[in-house]
Amino acid sequence: MSSQGAGLGRNYWLLWGATSVSGLGSGMTAAAIPLLAVLYSQDPRLISLVTAATFLPALIFGLHSGAIVDRVDRRILMLVADASRMIMVSVLAALVVLEHGATHWILLAAFVLGSGEILFENASAAFVPMVVSRDRLGAANSGLMATQTVSMQFLGLPLGGALFALTTSAPFIVDAISYAVAIALIVTMSGTYGPGRAATPYGSVPTVAAHTSARTTVWEDVRQGATWLWRHRPLRALALATAGLNLAFATGESTLVLYTSQVLHLSERGYALLLSLLAIGAVGGSLTAHRLRTAVGAVRTLGGSVLLVGASFLVPALTSSLAAAVAALLAGGAASMIWNVVTVTVRQELVPDALLGRVTSAYRVAALGVLPVGAVFGGFLAHDYGLHAPWMAAASLVAGVSLAARSSRQAEGLTIALADPAAETQGDAVGGE
């Protein structure tokens, strides 16, 4: 075990194992669903709808899932999320075997799997600070994101493409098995993981039992999390910047499966292998993010990752070279993972534990709610102007995010907030809406 991962505790490593196993199966399905959709249609607009269906739950259920995370045991929620995904991929596998598959089933599966992912990620993000000390959060998040990237993208994606080329149902069958194993690991976790009570600048945050006795509604919990995020200026700015970057990612990658086959002339296996290159860069990014932040600070680390993301989109916009695409995917994978590790850790450091689920959900809705829009936008751009157009639009969006961040004082505010978390939130509370 590395020194960076030592001392994180048994329950953390059980979560790590569950994430690794289910990530392997999820990677296979992530590669197989677009390939399955292409069997029914090669219209970029329809392919982008499959991508949009995966992202739509973030917009519809994101806020509510966070309120639920702060009201009940987070371990139970992870079990429910994995069980729902296991059932869905099992149904999809059966439909494919029986040759009853159709586009509407693919859209439904993408939506259900995306919904389970939202619930699991919100619950696990709020779970980690309950089993890991605050000074170990950076190492814990890096470890989780690294193993998720390796298992899903580096191993799952190419294996999913290879299995799909042999038989279309295989990736979905293996994914269902992986969720069953993950459920078994989560079941063995000890303890209960409902939220506790914590004092915040906005008053005392009640326990789960107090929530029930006070008869607060889910909508009241949603409003509390959204209000806290809006009043915290640095986190609000970070959520908006993440939204801009995610809009760019969804736009550029919405028709990647068609770009791979029609521009780069790769097979199903080649598509999955190309996707796995994102993982190689992402693993490097996840393992260096904590060290980069320690060396140069959060603000400079995030700024550098934005510039690298923009460059990675510009390359496929201007060229049809396979070698250039490989380099761009490596760079983009590293940059996006660095951004993810740093922003998740910053959020965990600044948000009180009892509010973490609600605030995380509000953050994720702001950051991920744009993904369906970007996916559909990219699909229509590709249909009207060709498969290079979405990448050019993505590069332009990243440039806009970078310019907006440089023209504001939010970087300074984030630095101050990290130095003294209470000062920023108290100042916002006094300042009002």
- Average of per-residue pLDDT across 387-395: 94
pLDDT value at residue 216: 63
pLDDT value at residue 413: 57
pLDDT value at residue 225: 82
Set out the domains of the chain in order of their start, with CATH numbers.
10-194+227-431 (1.20.1250.20)
pLDDT digits (tens, 9 = 90+) for 33-44: 988 988 888 888
pLDDT value at residue 381: 94
How sure is the predictor about 412, in pLDDT bands with cuts at 50, 70 and 90?
low
- Average of per-residue pLDDT across 19-40: 87
pLDDT digits (tens, 9 = 90+) for 243-275: 999 999 999 988 888 899 899 998 888 887 787
pLDDT value at residue 357: 73
pLDDT of 227 higher than 80: yes
pLDDT value at residue 203: 32
User: Over pLDDT 70: what percentage of the chain?
Assistant: 86
pLDDT value at residue 423: 46
pLDDT of 73 higher than 60: yes
Higher pLDDT, 416 or 197: 416
pLDDT of 433 higher than 70: no
Half-sphere exposure of 211 (CA within 13 A, CB side): 22
Higher pLDDT, 149 or 400: 400
pLDDT value at residue 102: 81
pLDDT of 84 higher than 90: yes
Higher pLDDT, 34 or 148: 34
pLDDT of 339 higher than 80: yes
pLDDT value at residue 93: 92
Higher pLDDT, 336 or 154: 336
- Average of per-residue pLDDT across 368-377: 88
pLDDT value at residue 201: 35
- Enter the DSSP assignment of 297: -
- The region that residue 167 occupies, defined by phi over 0 for left and psi between -120 and 50 for alpha, beta otherwise, is beta
pLDDT of 430 higher than 90: no
- Enter the DSSP assignment of 136: G
- The region that residue 217 occupies, defined by phi over 0 for left and psi between -120 and 50 for alpha, beta otherwise, is beta
pLDDT digits (tens, 9 = 90+) for 278-300: 778 877 887 888 888 888 888 88
**CB of 390 closer than 8 Å to CB of 382:** yes
Please state, in angstroms and rounded to a whole number, the distance separating the CA atoms of residues 137 and 349. 8
Average pLDDT of the chain, as a whole number:
81
- Average of per-residue pLDDT across 6-23: 82
Tokens of 427: 């100042």
pLDDT of 211 higher than 50: no
**CB of 118 closer than 8 Å to CB of 364:** yes
pLDDT of 19 higher than 80: yes
How sure is the predictor about 3, in pLDDT bands with cuts at 50, 70 and 90?
very low
pLDDT of 209 higher than 60: no
Please state, in angstroms and rounded to a whole number, the distance separating the CA atoms of residues 360 and 291. 24
pLDDT value at residue 7: 63
pLDDT of 8 higher than 80: no
pLDDT digits (tens, 9 = 90+) for 90-143: 999 999 888 887 888 999 999 999 888 888 887 887 788 888 877 777 788 778
pLDDT value at residue 271: 84
**CB of 104 closer than 8 Å to CB of 41:** no
**CB of 378 closer than 8 Å to CB of 390:** yes
Residue 199 CB coordination number (10 Å):
10
pLDDT value at residue 196: 54
